[in-house]
Copies of this chain bind each other. A is one copy, B any other.
Amino acid sequence: MSMTIKEIARITGVSVATVSNIINHKGRVGEDTRQRVEKAIREYHYTPNSVAKNLKTKTSRSIGVIAEDMTVFVMPEIIDGITECCEENDYQILLVNLRLYKKYSDTYYKTNHHREQVKAEIQKLISMQVDGIIYVAAHERINDVIPRNLSVPVVMAYSFSNRSEVPSVVVNDQGGAEKVTEYLLSKGHEKIGVIAGKKESFHTLARLEGYQKALLRNHIFYDPDYVVYGDWDRQSGYDAMNHLMSNKPTAIFAMNDVMAGGVYDWLKEHDMVPGKDVAVVGYDDQVMSAYENPPLTTMGLPLRDIGYSAGEQMIGMLSDEGIHVGSGQIDVDCKLCERESVAELSKI
């Protein structure tokens, strides 16, 4: 069906070696033969068979991307970032969608059911001769699914790897929470209630540290009564408000947008308006946050940048031949999305 290099060689009356050289711009070839061959290639719509090429060169210029679950909101942007980087560097992507949420609900990471699957998929990818593998987690944690002694480099995106040889690229949560707090402070708010996420979450921990750090730097006393833990869902944001408001905070920092939604609910129910009576800021910049009323000010997750950075790491490891780029962990900064849920304290 489709042309081979051999046929092009026969048609143009040269050897396959010459055709190969012309295609790959190697060696010296006479201008006339080049013309002839290139013409034939165009005319017969010849496309090199990259499988054969890969077999010979033992490289595929493709990297395997393993996504824990495609449908988790962080994935599309992260993968988009990876593909952007790969496109710029002429790498192909082989996508594996583990569908972990679908299969094991959202607690898969506590079980071991998926470890064998990950191992098998990695083997498959390696057998397809990918040059490297990027593992994209659905949420941040210490992720030890990567087997040791793999023959290709691996980078972990959106989780902390437990292997020194696999770099992690994660969000700088501490910095993000610090910025949120500084921002609120700059608006005159000193009594900032925080609705944290689940206690054991890495996100929660880091963001709490950031909050305290900002307070400290501004010589504001840290009062534990201003911190209530939620479990990331809307109801818990609402519930947290019942406790928090007895201390009369002027601002609420919810550690994700959906809990901030619960804050909105509580406020409206008590005839207060977000941004007017109480400042509120969320985290994540999920799409819905822009649709809240009033639009929610929130700390945006640098999802695309994480993907892009993971791609860069990978390509660095691939080209610099084993020279590790950066240290073992890259923290990517969040970006504040200022909308309408925070006003100067003086105006309240």
Contact = CB atoms under 8 A, between A and B. Distances in A.
A292 to B, nearest CB: 8
Interface string A49-66: 111101100001000010
A231 interface: no
Nearest to A77: B71
Interface string A193-206: 00000000000000
B99 A84 contact: yes
Given A49-B129, A84-B99, A268-B293, 13 more contacts: A1-B151, A47-B123, A48-B127, A50-B124, A51-B129, A52-B55, A76-B76, A83-B96, A83-B97, A87-B97, A92-B124, A93-B95, A95-B95
Given A2-B151, A55-B55, A128-B92, A291 B258 contact: yes
A138 to B, nearest CB: 12
A47 B127 contact: yes
A288 interface: yes
Given A71-B77, A94-B94, A261 B291 contact: yes
Interface residues of A, number: 49
Given A87-B99, A258-B291, A51 B55 contact: yes
A126 interface: yes
A288 B258 CA distance: 10
Given A47-B127, A97-B83, A70 B60 contact: no
- Could you say which of A51, A52, A268 has the most chain B C-beta atoms within 10 Å of its C-beta? A51
Contacts of A70: 76, 79-80, 83
A75 to B, nearest CB: 6
A234 interface: yes
B97 A79 contact: yes
A340 interface: no
Contact of A288 (B2, B69, B75, B288): B288
6 contacts: A1-B151, A71-B76, A80-B99, A93-B96, A258-B291, A287-B288
Contacts of A73: 287
A131 interface: no
Interface in A276-318: 286-288, 291, 293
